[in-house]
Amino acid sequence: MLKLFRILRLSRIITYMNSTDDVKLSLRLFKLCLFLILYIHCTACLLFLISTYGQEQGNDYLQSWKPAQFSYYEYDQTLLESDFHMQYLVSFYNSILAMTGNEIYPCNFLQ
């Protein structure tokens, strides 16, 4: 008899969870944001890889992962000498700009 009450209580909990659409919609929104961040990350890594490949070929001016405000001389050397995390964040930011409709002009044939 006691197990029957537990089963009834469990079935009420399950129907309550199925009836709430807020949980489902929240999970879908979370999944959408996660895929968006993953897409931006992959784009930023690809953009950084292409720019790094241009650097390895001896063309130091091919820094297309830098947005326009970093192209001034005093920021130029600071960004080139900064750590990998700062360069990744700049590439991530530039990838967001490209995704929202801003132009990234190619600097070499590979781009």
User: Domain locations in the chain?
Assistant: 36-105
Q: Which residue has the higher pLDDT, 106 or 102?
A: 102
Q: What is the pLDDT of residue 41?
A: 94
On the question of pLDDT at 59 being above 90, the answer is no
d(CA 6, CA 2): 6
pLDDT single digits (tens) 2-17: 565 566 676 777 777 6
Could you give phi then psi for residue 82, rounded to 5 degrees? -75, 170
Contacts of 51 (CB under 8 A, 6+ apart): 62, 63, 64, 65, 91
